A and B are shown apart, each in its own frame.
Chain A
């Protein structure tokens, strides 16, 4: 039996013929297993959706309660079996509810990791390595230049800048699901207990995180108040809001952007970011390679990102690897 008999790439996503389901399909299908709530992985309109309860809650929050025909809730550690194929969920450490889908059939194990990271994140459960025959990995930051620094250091440079420029506001561009809450939580851990102002687009997800036990501290909408009120304030907003007319209400804002892409200076310059914060929810090069080194799977499949460099690394390590060239996942902005 070949691994391709259990999972194979199709135009709509990674498909399991014996189980008749897709993992993170990019178009509506009858049965879908969803690894996490980011829009490029979790889309509305499937028949049955199997996912962690947190991911199901995120999808309901984003798309409405009728986002799928039926839901199948799988907490971490739980499994279901369909047509003899067993599917289980194991934490991926990417965002709240993110999971690796562990697919077992006739003694073969394939782990579809979805998006993942290995470092500590106070807003979600940590990645758990699962021994497997095939490990399906992302490669968003699959180049040796991507080495994310310690996030506490990045938060410290944000707080230093706030102290240095007390008459200005600091707007932190952060993706609404996951990154925003992680940045807020890291600020709290660093001792910032003042009110953090948030963009309207992230309020519902913030509340959802709080319902799941992530304490974000005092938050307030960034829409009320005069310019003066925002002097010395930290505002968290989706990255697109930085360049938007929305940001003009704030006093001489320092544009900050929390993203792994900020590691490369030209990227920061191109976006007009004044204070780049290298904080990523994806594995960096060292995390990708050390994960593969730790698991030593029989085979590595690479879903999306910079697959050629990771393929090359596997070749140098004698780990068979191939790029699946799945389309539909955001490579640039999809954090």
Chain B
């Protein structure tokens, strides 16, 4: 449990992806079975207990120490699991420290009444770090910034194999993954990926390079369709197993029972998960209401009904279609979707075009309705097979040009990892008249990339030279009508937001240019942004 706790601690404070991979890979290499398998399950979200309610933990600790001292402690730390882990009175020699496997095994067979006694016994036996890990696990939610994909990549690194190879077998495996490790360490054959409902590694597109690609590509070779603004999913219904996966293979079936219910077919569809209101795609903001929820809320599900807009067909009945050309898969997909005949699963229409100029015109001015909120266009070679990864050539994405505004830097925050000595996260604002007619800056967004290392150094120096106030890692920077640093900010879309003072929230904002030349007073007004709001 200590080594597990140490791993969680390091992961939660490390921002670099490579460093996280090293930490996980080393842990998996150095820890025996089945312990490492349970840890992998915990990291990938395959292990979740709701064994201990916060109220129970609180009661247990208050029975052991002064209530007032506990209250002050909780007040100071702010996190219940961490507070209890730290203040829990030590009972030296109370018990042997349990490892994660022991915890998992015991909870599996324990009755409800026994669970609480077990947890208290473990808390007595563990040190503060071990208690913290245990409590985080028991109350459900590690939140250490590790995606299932990252954990799988660490497994792939451990075995020296491609991540696709791990993803293909992943859903045939169950914790504590003894077969998986045996294969990765060369002690046995690769496990069969042939489990019903498994994930198929996804094919992704390259960004089109307008200057180069259109000159050499023949429009007749390509199909075009809208790039819908939801999340890419794979819907698999196979021999009674129904699963909905993200493009990285995370299983999100439990969050979308309405979609699962609609998957009345035998096959695997590649598509976009969207909120569909009366057959029309709604904004990404609507879909966000449904994402990352553990419990499904019936009211929310009725207000934001989700569905799939189909792009491709990977499996029909028992037939794997991935080696067929896109044109053939598309023909089969159209018939397949028509047979399902459910408004929650529809077809992403192909956009006919003759020349690249035609397509450019379509992208610049999409027709009224849902294409207006598409992210751009997708180009797919009619003869392309379905190839996992991001091969160069068969598929391109051609996003719409971003929106641009000029905003003034207001606050800067220190970065993490390599950037911890730089002020690299910027909050910027635009002008707004207050009730007295005075123009004031109101923050509209935050961005931390889009600039070069050299530009970062210059902005960092500007921040340090023009700091007005400091709050921990954040500095407020001089920004008024007569002085300030103007950023040209690019973003993909704008939505109304009640959480932001300005009333708007940007999608995917980044710094596109630094306008050292532009006077702060000439930056944009909030009214300009409000005109860009999505319908």
Q: Confirm or deny: A5 has a beta carbon within 8 angstroms of a beta carbon on chain B.
A: no
Q: Which residue on A lies nearest to B14, using beta carbons? A: A274
Contact A165 B73 (CB under 8 A): no
- The count of A-to-B residue pairs whose CB atoms sit within 8 angstroms is 97
Which bracket fits the contact residues of B?
35 or more
Contact B13 A248 (CB under 8 A): no
Contact A270 B86 (CB under 8 A): no
Q: Which residue on A lies nearest to B25, using beta carbons? A: A164
Contact A272 B77 (CB under 8 A): no
Contact A144 B69 (CB under 8 A): yes
Most buried by B among A253, A272, A306: A272
Q: Which residues of chain A have a CB within 8 Å of any CB of chain B?
A: 143-147, 149, 157, 161, 164-165, 242-248, 252-253, 255, 263-266, 268-276, 306, 308-309, 312-313, 316
Residues of chain B within 8 A (CB-CB) of A144 are 65, 69-70, 73, 86-87
Q: Which residues of chain B have a CB within 8 Å of any CB of chain A?
A: 6, 9-10, 12-16, 19, 22-23, 26, 65-66, 68-70, 72-73, 76-79, 82-83, 86-87, 90, 127-129, 414-418, 420-421, 460, 472-473
Shortest distance between the CB of B136 and any CB in chain A (Å): 11
Contact A272 to B73, CB < 8 A, known contacts A145-B83, A245-B421, A265-B12: no
Residues of chain A within 8 A (CB-CB) of B90 are 147
Contact A313 to B69, CB < 8 A, known contacts A145-B77, A269-B13: yes
Contact B9 A272 (CB under 8 A): no
Partner of A275, one of B13, B15, B127, B421: B13
CA A157 – CA B13 in complex, angstroms? Answer: 14
Residues of chain A within 8 A (CB-CB) of B417 are 252, 274
Contact B473 A271 (CB under 8 A): yes
Partner of B68, one of A147, A275, A312: A312
Most buried by B among A144, A157, A242: A144
Shortest distance between the CB of B472 and any CB in chain A (Å): 6
Residues of chain A within 8 A (CB-CB) of B68 are 312
Contact B6 A255 (CB under 8 A): no
Contact A145 B23 (CB under 8 A): no
Shortest distance between the CB of A181 and any CB in chain B (Å): 25
Shortest distance between the CB of B285 and any CB in chain A (Å): 28
Contact A145 B76 (CB under 8 A): yes
Contact B72 A143 (CB under 8 A): yes
Q: Which residue on B lies nearest to A255, using beta carbons? A: B420
Contact A247 to B421, CB < 8 A, known contacts A165-B19, A270-B473: yes
Contact B128 A149 (CB under 8 A): yes
Residues of chain A within 8 A (CB-CB) of B86 are 144-147, 263-264
CA A244 – CA B422 in complex, angstroms? Answer: 8
Residues of chain A within 8 A (CB-CB) of B6 are 157
Residues of chain A within 8 A (CB-CB) of B22 are 164-165
Q: Which residue on A lies nearest to B419, using beta carbons? A: A272
CA A245 – CA B14 in complex, angstroms? Answer: 20
Contact B72 A243 (CB under 8 A): no
Shortest distance between the CB of A296 and any CB in chain B (Å): 19
Q: Which residue on B lies nearest to A308, using beta carbons? A: B72
Contact B66 A312 (CB under 8 A): yes
Contact B78 A266 (CB under 8 A): yes
Contact A265 to B82, CB < 8 A, known contacts A312-B68, A312-B69: yes
Shortest distance between the CB of A140 and any CB in chain B (Å): 13
Q: Which residue on A lies nearest to B70, using beta carbons? A: A144
Q: Which residue on B lies nearest to A313, using beta carbons? A: B69
Ranked nearest first, the 8 interchain pairs of A and B with the lowest CB-CB distance are A145-B86, A144-B87, A272-B420, A145-B73, A247-B421, A274-B13, A309-B72, A144-B73
Residues of chain B within 8 A (CB-CB) of A271 are 473
Contact B13 A264 (CB under 8 A): no
Contact A145 B421 (CB under 8 A): no
25 contacts between A and B (CB under 8 A): A143-B73, A145-B76, A145-B77, A147-B86, A161-B10, A165-B19, A243-B414, A243-B473, A247-B420, A247-B421, A252-B16, A252-B418, A264-B76, A264-B82, A265-B12, A266-B78, A272-B416, A272-B473, A273-B13, A274-B417, A275-B10, A276-B13, A306-B72, A309-B69, A316-B66
